[in-house]
Amino acid sequence: MDFFGPSNLITFMETVPPYWRPLMAMMNIRVGNPDDEADRAMLEEYSPLNHPENITMPIFIVQGENDPRVVKAESDQMVQALRAIGTEVLYVSTATRATVLPMKRTALTFPEGWRIPLSECSRCGVRTL
Q: Could you read off the pLDDT of 22-49 as tens digits, one per residue?
A: 899 999 999 999 999 999 999 999 999 9
Asked if residue 110 is part of any domain, the answer here is no
pLDDT average, residue stretch 53-57? 91
Buried b / exposed e over 20-56, threshold 16 CB at 10 Å, is eeeeeeeeeeebbbbeeeebbebbeeebbbeebeebe
Angle, CA of 9, 6 and 113, to the nearest 5°? 170
Stretch among 52-66, 90-104, 109-123 having the lowest mean pLDDT: 109-123
pLDDT average, residue stretch 16-20? 85
d(CA 119, CA 17): 35
- pLDDT reported for residue 79: 93
Residue type, 96: T
Residue 89 is part of which domain span?
2-99
pLDDT tens digit sequence for 91-105:
888 776 544 444 444
- pLDDT reported for residue 127: 43
CATH label of the domain that carries residue 48: 3.40.50.1820
Asked if residue 69 is part of any domain, the answer here is yes
- pLDDT reported for residue 128: 40
In this predicted structure, the answer to whether residue 115 has a pLDDT above a threshold of 80 is no
Asked if residue 104 is part of any domain, the answer here is no
pTM comes to: 0.72
d(CA 40, CA 33): 6
Asked if residue 10 is part of any domain, the answer here is yes
d(CA 33, CA 125): 37
Q: What is the number of structural domains in the chain?
A: 1
Asked if residue 122 is part of any domain, the answer here is no
Asked if residue 109 is part of any domain, the answer here is no
Asked if residue 91 is part of any domain, the answer here is yes
Q: Is 129 helix (H, G, I), strand (E, B) or coil?
A: coil
Asked if residue 25 is part of any domain, the answer here is yes
